[in-house]
């Protein structure tokens, strides 16, 4: 059977001759919009390479996020997928995508909508659903994401992984996505690495994350000022931290709030001022974490211990999880005779002046 999946296998389906992506851009007068951080990838050898990172796609169901003029779309279709769902927010690209749809009858569904709000639980046939412990379903998400949406989108999907809903309603759906090179480095950074960050912990505690290859910026039109990383995610059967997403996120965000200081400085802001030092010391000791380690030096097991102990403290004091350090800071800064709403109005006026 391995022969069938060997590189260079001739796919059963091939797109008929079509205008090039460059010709499509001219035909429909498409221009990348800077405010939407759009960049087109015209080199079909590179789009083929991205699609290969997703794995064997023969008869797979694929959702492509933000297909734009359709470069990656062509490579996905040439991989002989069973069905391709295209979710595109920008109406200017829809006519070109419809042309591709006609060239692959019955294989393409186009949704004009925002992937951040699109209900992925209805995107694929229910019979594809697998148990979480099983092999991943034959479903893939692929996308050359605009830089402006890539980080909020992956954070949203990581929360979906944690809850096993959205695209992960069907099981451990795999994702192959592009990010700015620096974001790709953060997603995969190891303990002690310069790029170790909130994204490193949140992604690696829920997924196996692989930085596949780098695409130079000059391969895109218009050329971005940064290179682009192609990153592959496979959700883990068991998360490395067995706590709710929001709790893990709060602990990790707090620690990295002061990334140049000792990790205890970030832990402090989990607690109200009146009991801050006592509770921080209690948490660090119970979690067996050296308070003089820097945030980038904390391993996944350190974060697991911190989250587990913080959860126990929250269970003992339910008001603790709702505590917000920034809110307490704002309240302290309020003039004594000024209400909070009045203060906010004053701040807004100052911004607009």
**pTM for the full model?**
0.87
For the record, the structure tokens of 323 come out as 């505590």
Which is nearest to 142 in space by CA: 205, 198, 67, 211? 67
Architecture, CATH, for domain 21-235: 3-Layer(aba) Sandwich (3.40)
| Residue 160 labeled ligand binder | no
Whether residue 3 has pLDDT greater than 60? no
- Sorted by sequence, the CB contacts under 8 Å of residue 244 that are 6+ apart come out as 162
Domain 245-333 has CATH 1.10.8.100: yes
**CATH 3.40.50.150-classified regions of the chain:** 21-235
Phi/psi at 63 (5° precision): -110, 120
**CATH 1.10.8.100-classified regions of the chain:** 245-333
Residue 315 burial (CB < 10 Å; 0-12/13-18/19+)?
exposed
Task: Taking residues 12-17, report their average pLDDT.
Answer: 73
Whether residue 343 has pLDDT greater than 50? no
| Residue 352 labeled ligand binder | no
Q: How far apart are CA 30 and CA 170, in angstroms?
A: 35
| Residue 66 labeled ligand binder | yes
Q: Do residues 80 and 59 lie in contact, with contact meaning Cβ atoms separated by under 8 Å?
A: yes
* Helices 181-188 + 147-163 axis angle, to 10: 20
pLDDT, position 2 = 36
Handedness of CA 326, 331, 335, 338 (dihedral sign): positive
How big is the chain by its Cα radius of gyration, in Å?
Answer: 23
pLDDT, position 9 = 47
| Residue 293 labeled ligand binder | no
| Residue 134 labeled ligand binder | no
pLDDT, position 24 = 66
Residue 255 burial (CB < 10 Å; 0-12/13-18/19+)?
buried
Q: What is the pLDDT of residues 138-177, one digit of tens each?
A: 999 999 988 889 999 999 999 999 999 999 999 999 999 9
| Residue 39 labeled ligand binder | yes
pLDDT, position 332 = 82
């Amino acid at each position: 059977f391995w022969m069938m999946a060997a590189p260079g296998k001739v796919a059963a389906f091939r797109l008929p001759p079509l205008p090039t992506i460059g010709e499509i851009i001219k035909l429909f007068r498409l221009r990348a919009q800077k405010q939407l951080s759009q960049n087109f990838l015209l080199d079909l050898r590179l789009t083929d390479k991205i699609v290969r990172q997703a794995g064997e796609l023969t008869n797979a169901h694929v959702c492509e996020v933000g297909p734009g003029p359709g470069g990656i779309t062509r490579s996905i279709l040439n991989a002989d997928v069973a069905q391709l769902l295209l979710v595109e927010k920008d109406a200017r690209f829809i006519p070109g995508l419809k042309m591709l749809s006609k060239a692959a009858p019955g294989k393409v569904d186009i949704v004009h909508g925002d992937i951040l709000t699109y209900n992925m639980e209805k995107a694929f046939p229910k019979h594809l659903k697998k148990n979480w412990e099983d092999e991943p379903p034959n479903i893939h998400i692929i996308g050359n994401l605009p830089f402006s949406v890539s980080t909020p989108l992956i954070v949203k999907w990581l929360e979906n992984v944690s809850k096993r809903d959205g695209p992960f309603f069907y099981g451990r759906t795999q994702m192959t996505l592009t990010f700015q090179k620096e974001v790709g480095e953060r997603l995969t950074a190891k303990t002690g690495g310069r790029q170790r960050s909130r994204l490193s912990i949140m992604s690696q505690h829920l997924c196996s994350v692989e930085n596949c290859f780098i695409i130079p910026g000059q391969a895109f039109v218009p050329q971005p000022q940064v290179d682009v990383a192609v990153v592959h995610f496979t959700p883990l059967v068991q998360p490395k931290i067995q706590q709710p997403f929001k709790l893990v996120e709060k602990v990790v965000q707090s620690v990295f709030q002061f990334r140049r200081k000792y990790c205890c400085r970030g832990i402090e802001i989990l607690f109200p001022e009146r009991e801050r030092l006592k509770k921080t010391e209690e948490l660090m000791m119970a979690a067996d974490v050296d308070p003089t380690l820097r945030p980038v030096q904390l391993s996944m097991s350190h974060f697991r211990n911190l989250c587990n102990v913080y959860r126990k403290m929250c269970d003992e004091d339910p008001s603790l999880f709702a505590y917000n350090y920034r809110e307490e800071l704002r309240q302290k800064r309020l003039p004594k005779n000024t209400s909070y709403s009045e203060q906010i109005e004053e701040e807004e006026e100052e911004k607009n002046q």
